Amino acid sequence: MRLELEEVRRGAEERGAAVDLPCFHKATSIVLNLGLLDLALPPSGVFAWLEELQLIDIQLNGQSGLGDLLSSQRCPSLWFLRVSDVRGLDSFNIHSDSLMCMELLDLHRLPQLTVMAPALKKLQLFTSKDPRNPELAVANISAPQLTSLEWMDVYYPSSIQFDRIAHLDSLGIHFYILDVEDEEAFEHNRYWLKFLRRYKHIRSLDLMISYPPVICTGPYLTENCQAFQILHF
């Protein structure tokens, strides 16, 4: 199958056309890397046996049908999903009863995300690198069985909501130390600290800290490190 998709990619590149994703009824695994060529999603059809799907380096040009494609009605057996370095995805709304692991990496300008996945165990997301310029504006995550969350993005409870996560034991988050006068970065960090207070049973905590070189000396480091005192619980 990978050979067939590679041939389709080369043919579309030569013609300057979008790559059509066929509906492989018997496929169990699809890995599609297009080098940022346009991908045309199938408007109908069922991937009845598809368990693993990876979409890498693709351009969707505002198509909103990706969530529909990945729904339980069209991918009833899908348990692993990786969407990486995708452009043109104006919204992503996925409702899946079978999905257990989802990785959303380097999504560019994704303003809205909705995940309804009752069986989801692991969610990894990486989009924005700066709380002053967030790319993900609104997110609603309903995954009651989630045990591992890696959310390398901004977090504001008014717009980013996690619903009923009772079994979380592994968490990865992004802290920003940009400037002692940067109130947005401090607000973002304080929201994560409040989130941590609700999950004192977390056994694994992974912190990614972004900071400018100047913060390694002088009063900046002392001032900002006070925010991490609450992590000693």
pLDDT (0 to 100) of residue 133 = 60
> What residue type is 71 in one-letter code?
S
Q: What is the structure's pLDDT at 4?
A: 44
Each of the 233 residues of the chain gets a pLDDT tens digit; together they read: 443 455 555 555 554 567 888 888 889 999 988 888 888 888 889 999 999 999 999 888 765 678 899 999 999 999 999 999 888 887 889 999 999 999 999 877 778 899 999 999 999 998 756 655 666 778 999 999 999 999 988 888 888 999 888 899 999 998 877 655 566 677 878 888 888 888 878 899 888 877 766 665 555 555 555 555 444 44
How confident is the model at residue 123, as a pLDDT? Answer: 97
Neighbours of 140 (CB within 10 A): 15
| DSSP helix/strand/coil, 188 | helix
> For residue 162, what are the domain limits?
2-231
Task: Identify the pLDDT of residue 145.
Answer: 96
Beta bridge partners of 123: 102, 149
CB-count exposure of residue 59 (10 Å: 0-12, 13-18, 19+): buried
Q: Which amino acid, one-letter code, is at 69? A: L
Q: What is the pLDDT of residue 232?
A: 42
Tell me which residue of 227, 222, 128, 220 sits closest to 179, measured CA to CA.
220
Report the C-alpha gap between 94 and 149 in whole angstroms.
17
Cα 227 to Cα 177, 214, 217, 230, distances in angstroms? 10, 18, 17, 7
45-58 b/e (C-beta count within 10 Å ≥ 16 → b) = eebeebbbbebbbb
Q: What pLDDT score does 95 carry?
A: 95
Whether 196 and 170 have beta carbons less than 8 Å apart is answered as no
Number of domains in the chain: 1
Q: What is the pLDDT of residue 34?
A: 85
Average pLDDT of the chain to the nearest whole number: 80
What pLDDT shows up at residue 41? 87
pLDDT digits (tens, 9 = 90+) for 135-183: 677 899 999 999 999 998 888 888 899 988 889 999 999 887 765 556 6
DSSP assigned state of 154: -
pTM of the shown model: 0.82
Non-local (6+) Cβ contacts of 163 within 8 A are 140, 141, 142, 143, 144
